[in-house]
Structure 1
Amino acid sequence: MVKKIALVFVGVLLALVVWQWELVSYGWMQAKGQVRLLWNTKPVADVLADPAYPDSTKQKIELIREIKRFAIDSLGLDKSGSYESFYDQQGKPILWVVTAAQPYQLVAKQWHFPIIGTFSYKGFFEKDRADTTKAELQRDGLDTRIGEVSAWSTLGFLNDPILSSFLDRPVGSLAELIIHELTHGTLFIKNSLEYNENLADFVGEYGALRFMAQKYGRNSVPYRDYLATKVFYEKYDEHILHGTQVLDSLYKTFKPTTSTIVKDSLKWQTIRQIVVSSDTINTGERSIKKRTAGKLNLPNNAYFIGYLTYRKQQNRFRQEFENRFGGDFKRYLTYLKQTYPSL
């Protein structure tokens, strides 16, 4: 009887593997990549005690630990075992993300995963598989984009390490990154990627400004430099998000009878104008360097989808935080955690 049950179980398992081979294969690849990374990490305490590591590395690691303590104690993010180990990338990227979108609609390709839900991007620890996936999506007629990933969160399921690439970031960017990822481990809503990424961006930037003010003071050079950077990129975000509205309006004018040649001509003409007009963004301290329009490597719809995923809801969070909660972040975070069920 036991033997029959075992054979049935094996049969069901094999059928499941055949039926969902792509998902199983992808999951195995991701698991191998994550395990390989975790297997080759060193405890932070060992790195700090090792004379082979330079003082500059140790100082940045100590800074990351300070940022993490601030995020938990001052912002109220959940306690985490992340960033207590160190992984040396040896100057190499370790994760790539593929995004895709419809060619004449700002509609993202969606991937569905058990437990964590739906995502508009797909990560790969193997560059060859990322390139293969991108090529397959292009053959299906989709706009695609592939990019290296500087950090990611396992949403509290694992303890994420400090990556050596973190150490190259200036302090404001580093604080923003760490707080962004810790936010994912505190609140992550299934099938709501745009909400999750916009929230983490909002908390990361707000938390970084508070950390910088506390550590250096609002009149310090590090704080002012970071603030100037944020002001500039907010203007750029506004410009690109306005560009998504222009593109969306254009695509809605296309009819089934509109030829591909005409659609492509209008699409790339509009995208070129969005990119070229970004040269006018100037906040006094920063501006985009002038470029020759004829030499531009124009982005496609997948690039604009990325901005919608990460930046579209920033004003919503700011207004809710300030108007409803009077700038009391811990109260605001408590409200979010009570209102939105997290994984």
Structure 2
Amino acid sequence: MNTQLTQLFRGVILSVGITALSGCGTAGYYTRIIQGHFDIINRQQPIDAALERTDIDEDLRHKLLLVKKARYFASEALHLPENDSYLYYADIGREYVAWNVVAVPALSLTPKTWCYPIAGCVSYRGYHSREEAQAYADSLTQQGYDVTINGAAAYSTLGWFDDPVLNTMITWRDPALIGLIFHELAHQKLYIKDSSAFNESFASFVQREGVARWYTAQGDVGALNQERQRYQRRRDFLSLLNDTRQALEALYAQDWTTSEALAE
């Protein structure tokens, strides 16, 4: 059975199982999500086939060759899953593959969570359509939530499907693209339901360590040092965010009305 038929079969089984476990409204959401993923599958082609095209853009050629090398390194050096993920390329014709809706109650930093049969409970709800994400975000705003919509360049199906490389990922810097491959494969290697913080911490560690090993193996000390500096700047920024979070939590904990707290 070829890759697309195998993924179609998995999708049908997944759809039937989810529909049986869900209410009508929720089942409709899952159906649209699966349809959106099948649209991606239908657009994909083997990376080797894309590289054989005479009209391929040179920047795209460079990125796809880089992905091939990173994919091999991921399995051989990092012992990440060796499957057909990231051996295919799909141009989906848009800036992001998905849009994630994140919501928190007023005067709170604790996000609303949504629970799914496979992924467990997470603090976002994803859509393949920006319009659908906006409509849902608007409904949450009307309920009193503070809402934001974040575009996503990639997502992991946690091994249920063979995730392709997308045009949304190709514009990233080389180390960021390599790291993204390692990050998403790490989710396939280990994912614990209802443990978003752990899952992201684990995948981010694999990403960071994988990129370091990648440049070490190539003897590229300059690139390795640059990535270490970027990581340190990221840590400094996250530390600043954490300080801001603590200040806001202290503010929200006071016995003020919403308008008074926002004025502060």
The answer to whether TM tops 0.5 is yes
TM-score w.r.t. structure 1 length? 0.68
**1:89 match: secondary structure:** coil
2:232 and 2:70 mapped to 1: Cα distance?
Answer: 22
Q: Is the 8 A contact 1:172 1:212 kept in 2?
A: no
Structure 2 partner of 1:226: 227
Q: Deviations over 1:95-135 (max 9, x none)?
A: 11110112212211011111321111011011111001111
- RMSD between aligned residues: 1.9
Q: Deviations over 1:243-297 (max 9, x none)?
A: 2122222222x23xx222212212xxxxxxxxxxxxxxxxxxxxxxxxxxxxxxx
Which has the greater radius of gyration?
1
1:233-252 counterparts in 2 under 5 A? 233-252=234-253
Q: Deviations over 1:184-237 (max 9, x none)?
A: 01000011111111211121112112212222422x2x3333222222111101
Question: Is 1:138 aligned to 2:136, yes or no?
Answer: no
Structure 2 partner of 1:264: 262
Structure 1 partner of 2:29: 26
1:208 and 1:40 mapped to 2: Cα distance?
Answer: 29
Identity level (%): 25
**1:175 match: secondary structure:** helix
TM-score w.r.t. structure 2 length? 0.87
1:202 to 205, 222, 245: 205
Q: Is the 8 A contact 1:98 1:121 kept in 2?
A: yes
Structure 2 partner of 1:77: 80
1:115 and 1:168 mapped to 2: Cα distance?
Answer: 30
Structure 1 partner of 2:114: 111
1:41-120 counterparts in 2 under 5 A? 41-120=44-123
Deviation at 1:91, TM superposition (A): 4.9
Please tell me the residue identity of whatever aligns with 1:242: D
Q: Deviations over 1:171-190 (max 9, x none)?
A: 11112111110100100001
2:184 and 2:152 mapped to 1: Cα distance?
Answer: 13
Change (3 A) 1:216 1:55: farther
1:155 to 149, 155, 158: 158
1:211 and 1:111 mapped to 2: Cα distance?
Answer: 36
1:145 and 1:134 mapped to 2: Cα distance?
Answer: 7
1:232 and 1:183 mapped to 2: Cα distance?
Answer: 23
Q: Is the 8 A contact 1:150 1:166 kept in 2?
A: yes
1:94 and 1:75 mapped to 2: Cα distance?
Answer: 26
Q: Which runs of 4+ in 1 moved over 6 A?
A: none
Structure 2 partner of 1:193: 196
Q: Is the 8 A contact 1:155 1:184 kept in 2?
A: yes
Q: Which ranges of structure 2 fall in alignment gaps of 5 or more residues?
A: 1-15
